């Protein structure tokens, strides 16, 4: 969410940013916000003036009564009562205007970084760099669920009967591989200086509204019926929410956390849910990382964070590339974002396995996460998040890139301790 002062003083910049995101339908929101802000300031000024006049008049009453001027005193009392009624009416309007202004401001997109490429959607994202040499073996790579089924490692039919499409049972060595990857990711990030955390898997509505846009909320979140609680779509939500309404000391930043959680998503929209695979599903597990830092440091940590994911995948010999998200592919709160994509030997192309985002002060402004500077000043922190690994998609990349000609699955050295010393799944 932007600062209303910035919107008021830079309406053309805000509108051009909306155009750059190809959201022209939101252009009227800028003028609406400025008008509501103007009315809000008018109300505050009038209320302040009325209260000042009422205080002065109240002091006159005692003097008039002492002089025996009862009629004049009663007249002033009536004037005070009228001013009080006007103040009450204005205060009620002020509350209504501020609620409307907040709703409008929460729909205006954050200002994207100048380095973000302009494009309508993810088809116009820009490849930045490749890490590792993509390999296509001289034997056929089956679909990922077929590989799992060879090891009796997945049961989609039973899951469909129990929960519907978008769920799965993982079994045996495939389930163990899933857990091994998350455990390795945890230790990998601890080794990079991040504090490990297991957060709440449900959050309140005010936290949801603090960490994401209304459009994302509608498309992703499952609400608990009869409760002010939502199942998290990623642990980033509750991890950032941990710092709601707090003042952090500047010399103790950055805060660098890595968290494990299950994730629950509607996956509502054009992509839909896969019936056959585990690429897009309703439930999965993930190792995440977040950073809360001073504004001047956020781009430094942004680059550190996506490199962590690249290094993690490369440690298991999986080729990856980074893809700069264009303006039209950025969610409303994001300043800048890069996707990490893994190589698929079967499809002979890359596919998304993680995303790193700098949200500037948008989440901090909504959740009131502030920094106390050494000079006593207070300002909003910057928040960043990045996927370390989400095993369902990671499993696809892992199985395809480590499948051997004899049908076995090679286990790279860093993962072997988490698989009981196994060097392959046979």
- The conformation of residue 403, written as its DSSP 8-state character, comes to B
115 against 166, higher pLDDT = 115
Q: What is the arithmetic mean of pLDDT over 201-214? A: 91
- pLDDT-based confidence at residue 84 (cuts at 50, 70, 90): confident
pLDDT digits (tens, 9 = 90+) for 22-60: 999 999 999 999 999 999 999 999 999 988 888 777 777
End-of-domain residue from the set 105, 140, 166: 105
Task: Tell me the CA distances in angstroms from 241 to 52, 91, 133, 398, one per residue in order.
Answer: 40, 31, 39, 32
Give yes or no for residue 271 having a pLDDT over 60. no
Q: Is 166 found in the same domain as 38? A: no
Quote the pLDDT of residue 80.
Answer: 83
Q: Is 343 found in the same domain as 214? A: yes
Burial class (CB in 10 A: 0-12, 13-18, 19+), 207: buried
Quote the pLDDT of residue 65.
Answer: 67
Quote the pLDDT of residue 318.
Answer: 97
Quote the pLDDT of residue 329.
Answer: 96
End-of-domain residue from the set 80, 105, 130: 105
Give yes or no for residue 87 having a pLDDT over 80. yes
Quote the pLDDT of residue 228.
Answer: 94
pLDDT digits (tens, 9 = 90+) for 404-419: 999 999 999 999 999 9
Rounded to the nearest integer, the mean pLDDT of the chain is 93
Q: Is 292 found in the same domain as 342? A: yes
Residues in the chain: 426
Give yes or no for residue 208 having a pLDDT over 60. yes
Does some domain include residue 115?
no
CA gap 332, 20 in Å, rounded: 12
Instruction: Lowest mean pLDDT of 56-70, 326-340, 341-355, 378-392, name the range.
Output: 56-70
| Selection from 181, 196, 154 nearest residue 390 by Cα | 181
Give yes or no for residue 275 having a pLDDT over 70. no
Task: Tell me the CA distances in angstroms from 213 to 10, 41, 87, 218, 371, one per residue in order.
Answer: 22, 26, 35, 9, 23
| Selection from 93, 100, 86, 91 nearest residue 36 by Cα | 100
Entry pTM: 0.89
Burial class (CB in 10 A: 0-12, 13-18, 19+), 405: exposed
Q: Which residues fall within 8 angstroms of residue 254, CB to CB, at 6 or more apart?
A: 291, 292, 293, 294, 297, 301
Q: Find tokens 């301790």 and name the residue.
A: 417
| Selection from 147, 172, 153, 173 nearest residue 404 by Cα | 147
Does some domain include residue 343?
yes
Q: Is 395 found in the same domain as 317? A: yes
Q: Nearest 5°: CA angle at 333, between 378 and 130?
A: 110
Does some domain include residue 64?
yes
Q: Which residues pair with 197 in a beta bridge?
A: 259
Does some domain include residue 114?
no
Does some domain include residue 230?
yes
Does some domain include residue 113?
no
Quote the pLDDT of residue 261.
Answer: 95
Reduced to 3 states (helix: H, G, I; strand: E, B; else coil), residue 376 is coil
Q: Which domain holds residue 291?
A: 122-425
Give the CATH number for residue 420.
3.30.930.10
Q: Is 101 found in the same domain as 130? A: no
Q: Which residues fall within 8 angstroms of residue 325, CB to CB, at 6 or more apart?
A: 116, 122, 125, 334, 336, 337, 338, 339, 355
Q: Find tokens 């940013």 and name the residue.
A: 17
CB 38 within 8 A of CB 11: no
| Selection from 66, 77, 9 nearest residue 38 by Cα | 9
Give yes or no for residue 172 having a pLDDT over 90. yes
Q: Is 149 found in the same domain as 100? A: no
Give yes or no for residue 292 having a pLDDT over 70. yes
Q: Is 21 found in the same domain as 131? A: no
Q: Nearest 5°: CA angle at 63, between 60 and 65?
A: 105
Quote the pLDDT of residue 192.
Answer: 97
Give the CATH number for residue 21.
1.10.287.40
Q: Which residues fall within 8 angstroms of residue 383, CB to CB, at 6 or more apart?
A: 240, 290, 291, 292, 359, 361, 362, 363, 364, 369
Q: Is 416 found in the same domain as 300? A: yes
Q: Provide, rounded to the nearest whole percent, the portion of the chain with pLDDT above 70.
A: 96
Q: Is 203 found in the same domain as 348? A: yes
Q: Is 135 found in the same domain as 81? A: no
Quote the pLDDT of residue 273.
Answer: 61
Give me the DSSP letters along 125-139: -EEEEEES-----SS
Does some domain include residue 323?
yes
Q: Is 162 found in the same domain as 134? A: yes
C-alpha R_g of the chain:
28
Does some domain include residue 288?
yes
Quote the pLDDT of residue 269.
Answer: 56
Quote the pLDDT of residue 66.
Answer: 64
* Domain total of the chain: 2
Q: Is 136 found in the same domain as 53? A: no
Quote the pLDDT of residue 276.
Answer: 74
Give yes or no for residue 81 having a pLDDT over 80. yes
End-of-domain residue from the set 105, 140, 170: 105
Quote the pLDDT of residue 60.
Answer: 72
Instruction: Tell me the angle at which helices 391-402 and 172-191 cross, rounded to the nearest 10 degrees.
Output: 110
Q: What is the arithmetic mean of pLDDT over 348-377? A: 96
CB 218 within 8 A of CB 226: no
Strand pairing category for 349-358 and 378-380? unpaired
Task: Tell me the CA distances in angstroms from 101 to 244, 332, 406, one per residue in order.
Answer: 21, 17, 64
């Amino acid at each position: 969410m932007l600062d209303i002062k910035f919107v008021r003083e830079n309406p053309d910049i805000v509108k051009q940013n909306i155009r750059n995101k190809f959201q022209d339908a939101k252009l009227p929101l800028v003028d609406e916000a400025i008008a509501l802000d103007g009315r809000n300031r008018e109300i505050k000024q009038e209320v302040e003036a009325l209260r000042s006049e009422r205080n002065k008049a109240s002091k006159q009453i005692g003097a008039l009564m002492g002089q025996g001027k009862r009629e004049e005193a009663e007249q002033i009392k009536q004037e005070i009562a009228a001013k009080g009624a006007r103040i009450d009416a204005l205060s009620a309007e002020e509350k209504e205007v501020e609620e409307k202004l907040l709703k409008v401001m929460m729909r205006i997109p954050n200002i994207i970084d100048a380095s973000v490429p302009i494009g309508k959607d993810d088809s116009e994202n820009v490849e930045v760099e490749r890490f590792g040499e993509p390999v296509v073996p001289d034997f056929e790579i089956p679909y990922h669920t077929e590989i799992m089924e060879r090891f009796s490692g997945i049961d989609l039919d039973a899951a469909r009967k129990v929960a519907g499409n978008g769920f799965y049972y993982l079994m045996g060595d495939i389930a163990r591989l899933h857990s091994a990857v998350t455990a390795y990711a945890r230790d990998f990030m601890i080794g990079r200086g991040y504090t490990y955390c297991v957060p709440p898997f449900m959050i309140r509505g005010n936290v949801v509204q603090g960490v994401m846009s209304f459009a994302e909320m509608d498309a992703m979140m499952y609400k608990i019926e009869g409760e002010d609680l939502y199942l998290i779509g990623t642990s980033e939500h509750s991890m950032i929410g941990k710092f709601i309404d707090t003042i952090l000391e500047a010399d103790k930043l950055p805060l660098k956390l890595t968290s494990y959680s299950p994730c629950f998503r509607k996956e509502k929209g054009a992509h839909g849910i896969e019936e056959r695979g585990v690429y897009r599903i309703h439930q999965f597990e993930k190792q995440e990382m977040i950073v809360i830092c001073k504004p001047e440091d956020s781009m430094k940590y942004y680059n550190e964070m996506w490199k962590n994911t690249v290094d993690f995948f490369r440690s298991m010999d999986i080729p990856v590339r980074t893809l700069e998200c264009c303006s039209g592919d950025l969610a409303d709160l994001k300043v800048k974002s890069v996707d990490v994509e893994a190589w698929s030997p079967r499809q002979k192309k890359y596919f998304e396995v993680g995303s790193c985002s700098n949200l500037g002060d948008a989440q901090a402004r909504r959740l009131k996460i502030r920094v106390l500077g050494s000079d006593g000043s207070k300002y909003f922190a910057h928040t960043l998040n990045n996927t370390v690994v989400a095993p369902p998609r990671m499993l696809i990349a892992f199985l395809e890139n480590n499948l051997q000609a004899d049908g076995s699955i090679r286990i790279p050295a860093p993962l072997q301790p988490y698989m009981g010393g196994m060097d392959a799944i046979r």
